Homo-oligomer: A and B are copies of this chain.
Amino acid sequence: MIRVLLADDENLVRSAFAALLGLEDDLEVVAQASSGAEALAMARAHAPDVAVLDLQMPDRDGISVAGELSTLLPGCGLVIVTGHGRPGHLKRALEAGVRGFLPKTVSAAVLSDVVRTVHRGGRYVDPELAAEAISAGDSPLTPREADVLELAAGGAPVEEIAARAHLSPGTVRNHLSAASAKLGAPNRHAAVDTARRHGWI
* B interface footprint on A85-111 (CB within 8 Å = 1, 0 otherwise): 000000000000000001111111011
**Assembly stoichiometry (copies):** 2
The size of the chain A interface, using a CB distance under 8 A, is 36
* B20, B83, B111, B155: the one within 8 Å of A193 (CB): B155
A155 touches B111 (CB 8 A): no
A17 within 8 A of B: yes
A71 within 8 A of B: no
Complex formed: what's the CA distance from A151 to B136 in Å?
A: 27
A12 within 8 A of B: yes
Closest B residue by C-beta to A16: B16
A16 touches B20 (CB 8 A): yes
Give min CB distance, A116 to chain B, whole Å. 16
**Of A19, A103, A111, A192, which is in contact with the most chain B CB atoms at under 10 Å from its CB?**
A19
Give min CB distance, A123 to chain B, whole Å. 19
The answer to whether residues A16 and B108 also contact, given A155-B187, A155-B190, A155-B192 and a CB cut-off of 8 A, is: yes
